[in-house]
């Protein structure tokens, strides 16, 4: 009989370096997921398989999903190690530390910032809040000494280096950030968030947190490049500890809380093979209930809803430097539905009633729909699969969604790819499809803008509709609508973003 061989080293590269970027709407649960990844596995946090899915009377699991969860739970109990947490807001504060404290105060008092926040300030004023930063500034001065100390320390550090690791993860920086960000939200959390949003936009435009610039793609990766440097510094630190024998594993596992710009997600996808974007989705009613205590007066419901809507789908056309959470969610590799254990139990109870009624009235076999899992159970599953692909097979729903996800790549649409899979009640695939142009028209991705901007004999005129390319009739030629539309298209393409 051959001797057993330990093959765990096969997955060492994957286990030793993993980066997870979280994304989702405000209140979706990104912070809770980040904290759990930071904490790692704790049996008190996760449901025990035999307590949730085992039928003691019949001595069997109620569904194959619970058998899979048992495998995942046993694997995670040994292999789910703590992730190091990089907070996006803290990284923005690091950019502020590259300048003086006085520069930040001048920015808070600047007419440009007050102008950018004019609409918000009008709403805040009507709700009784201070439409400026006077209150925040007075309290910020209590942190001036620490600000200057950290600023001097950061500006002396070689980036990336172990010094950057010590600064971000081990020193005074994180406690300072907590106080700093708390002061900024004291008068209004929305005002604080809007301020950080403007700072992030400025950084993606110019590399300077206080000054925007003309439209340019040169500085768009400014924030994520610093995050990447922090990740590198973490790797250097872990390697040093491993070489000195102070740790048994050379493991760099990072979770970023949270990403709100699709271009930044693209940066990490191109940079790391073991990078995963995880979108946290939450039902609107549950999300609003969770936020009700955090966003109290003066952040009225009207103010909150306006801000959330703006951030969810803010970037339009060429505004690639702004937040666009809807686009980030579309790019996600993994989706987690944020359900508490109670919410999952309620949904499973309702599902079971539907199944029982269906069997009685329609005389059909038992429904094969997978049960609902709490967000912690879902997280445990995906973290385990990232570490050990193939640990359990996909559920029927996941299998169908993977086919739909693959089908979307057939789309010829530039702005959005959508795939679909149609199945019967047994999850047998009956059809797949994707969004595309109407039959007979050329997909947008195959058209050349130059053919529209500067028509030649060799131009592919038929790729465009008559309305886009020229006037369909003499009557259209006299109309102002058609030429205006074509001129707007040409203006967009003639001045590319550099």
Task: Tell me what pLDDT residue 472 has.
Answer: 45
Radius of gyration of the chain (CA): 27
Q: What is the dihedral of CA 243, 249, 250, 254, to 10 degrees?
A: -140
Judged by DSSP in three states, 20 sits in: strand
Q: What is the pLDDT along the chain (498 residues), one digit of tens a residue?
A: 567 666 666 666 667 899 999 999 988 999 999 999 999 998 889 999 999 889 899 999 988 999 999 999 999 999 999 999 999 999 999 999 999 999 999 999 999 998 888 888 877 777 777 788 899 999 999 999 999 999 999 999 988 889 999 999 999 999 999 999 999 988 888 889 889 999 999 999 999 999 988 877 889 999 999 999 999 999 999 999 988 888 888 889 999 998 999 999 999 999 999 999 999 999 988 888 888 777 776 777 777 777 777 777 665 656 888 888 988 998 899 999 999 999 998 888 877 776 666 656 666 555 678 899 999 999 999 999 999 999 999 999 999 999 998 999 999 888 788 999 999 888 889 999 999 988 888 898 888 877 777 778 788 878 887 666 655 444 554 555 555 555 666 666 656 655
Task: Tell me what pLDDT residue 358 has.
Answer: 63
Residue among 84, 351, 422 nearest 238 (CA): 84
Task: Tell me what pLDDT residue 332 has.
Answer: 93
pLDDT tens digits for 24-49?
Answer: 998 899 999 999 999 999 888 999 99
Strand runs (DSSP E) across 308-404, as ranges?
Answer: 334-337
CA angle 76, 78, 80 (to 5 degrees): 45
Task: Tell me what pLDDT residue 355 has.
Answer: 62
Distance set, CA 5 to CA 1, 2, 378, 384, 430 (Å): 12, 9, 31, 22, 44
Task: Pinpoint the alpha helices (H) of 292-340.
Answer: 301-312, 325-330
Residue among 328, 186, 195 nearest 268 (CA): 328
Task: Tell me what pLDDT residue 444 has.
Answer: 87
Distance CA 245, CA 43 (A): 29
Distance CA 79, CA 48 (A): 16
142: left (phi over 0), alpha (psi -120 to 50) or beta: alpha
CA angle 193, 120, 217 (to 5 degrees): 60
Phi, psi of 433 (to 5 degrees): -160, 175
CA angle 237, 238, 244 (to 5 degrees): 90
Cα 181 to its chain centre, rounded Å, is 21
Token reading at 248 = 């048994």
Token reading at 482 = 């058609």
Give the DSSP H/E element, type plus range, for residue 77. helix 64-79
Decide if 274 contacts 383 (C-beta within 8 A): no
Neighbours of 33 (CB within 10 A): 24
Q: Are strands 275-281 and 252-257 parallel, antiparallel or unpaired?
A: unpaired
């Amino acid at each position: 009989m051959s001797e057993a061989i330990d093959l765990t080293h096969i997955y060492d590269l994957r286990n030793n370096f993993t980066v997870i970027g979280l994304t989702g709407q405000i209140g979706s649960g990104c912070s809770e997921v980040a904290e759990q990844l930071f904490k790692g596995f704790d049996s008190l946090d996760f449901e025990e398989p035999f307590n949730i899915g085992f039928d003691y009377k019949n001595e069997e699991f109620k569904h194959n999903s619970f058998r899979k969860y048992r495998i995942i739970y046993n694997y995670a109990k040994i292999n789910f190690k703590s992730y190091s947490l990089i907070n996006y807001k803290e990284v923005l504060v690091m950019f502020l530390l590259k300048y003086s404290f006085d520069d930040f105060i001048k920015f808070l008092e600047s007419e440009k910032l007050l102008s950018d926040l004019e609409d918000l300030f009008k709403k805040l004023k009507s709700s009784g809040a201070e439409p400026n930063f006077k209150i925040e500034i007075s309290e910020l001065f209590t942190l001036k000494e620490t600000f200057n100390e950290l600023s001097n320390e950061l500006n002396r550090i070689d980036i990336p280096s172990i010094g950057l690791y010590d600064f971000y993860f081990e020193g005074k920086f994180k406690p300072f950030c907590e106080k700093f960000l708390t002061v900024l939200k004291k008068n209004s959390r929305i005002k604080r968030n809007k301020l950080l949003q403007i700072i992030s936009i400025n950084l993606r435009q110019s590399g300077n947190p206080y000054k925007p610039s003309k439209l340019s793609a040169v500085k768009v990766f400014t924030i994520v490049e610093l995050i990447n440097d922090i990740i590198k510094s973490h790797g250097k630190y872990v390697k040093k500890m491993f070489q000195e024998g102070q740790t048994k594993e050379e493991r760099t596992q990072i979770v970023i809380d949270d990403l709100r710009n699709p271009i930044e997600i693209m940066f990490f996808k191109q940079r790391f093979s073991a990078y995963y974007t995880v979108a946290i989705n939450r039902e609107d009613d549950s999300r609003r209930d969770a936020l009700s205590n955090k966003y109290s007066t003066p952040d009225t419901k009207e103010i909150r809803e306006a801000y959330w809507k703006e951030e969810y789908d803010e970037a339009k056309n060429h505004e690639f430097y702004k937040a666009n959470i809807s686009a980030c969610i579309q790019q996600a590799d993994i989706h987690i539905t944020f359900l508490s254990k109670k919410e999952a139990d309620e949904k499973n109870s309702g599902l079971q009633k539907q199944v029982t009624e269906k069997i009685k009235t329609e005389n059909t076999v038992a429904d094969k729909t997978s049960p609902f899992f709490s967000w912690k159970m879902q997280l445990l599953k995906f973290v385990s699969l990232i570490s050990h692909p193939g640990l359990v097979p996909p559920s029927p729903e996941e299998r169908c969604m993977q086919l739909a996800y693959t089908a979307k790549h057939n789309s010829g649409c530039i702005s959005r790819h959508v795939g679909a899979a149609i199945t019967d009640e047994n999850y047998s695939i009956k059809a797949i499809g994707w969004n595309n142009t109407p039959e007979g028209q050329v997909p947008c991705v195959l058209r050349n803008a130059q053919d529209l901007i500067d028509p030649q004999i060799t131009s592919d005129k038929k790729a465009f509709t008559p309305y886009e390319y020229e006037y369909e009739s003499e009557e259209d030629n006299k109309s102002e609508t058609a030429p205006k539309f074509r001129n707007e298209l040409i203006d967009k393409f003639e001045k590319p973003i550099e």
